[in-house]
Amino acid sequence: METLEEIRAEVAMTYRSHLPERLADLPAQEQETMFDRIAESILDEADQLAPQMRAAGIREETVRTGRHPDYPTTVAIGRTAKMQAIRTVMDEQLYSLIT
């Protein structure tokens, strides 16, 4: 899950399945706007967190192999960091609301 649309779909599903009481007093259009806003916030925060996670992954790979990773490995580390950042932010901003 990397795109805004995928994140938004997960936000909507989570609210509808696990947090319906938070939607009870909101008209449908306001719910949709709220899902958009939450998804954008998650992606923005993940975009800020991912470079730190990428740098840490590159450091770990450098220590593990004794040299800086090649380009394909660096790209893979970056993609993994982005996915981990999204998951971390979703845990904090979305899944933590489920009791």
Q: What digits encode the pLDDT tens for the residues 28-85?
A: 999 999 999 999 999 999 999 999 999 999 999 999 999 999 999 999 999 999 999 9
Domain extent at residue 93: 4-97
The whole-angstrom separation of Cα 58 and Cα 68 is 7
The pTM assigned to this predicted structure is: 0.90
Domain count, the chain: 1
- Token pair of 10 as six digits: 């997960």
**Tell me: the pLDDT tens digits for 8-42?**
999 999 999 999 999 999 999 999 999 999 999 99
- Token pair of 48 as six digits: 């800020």
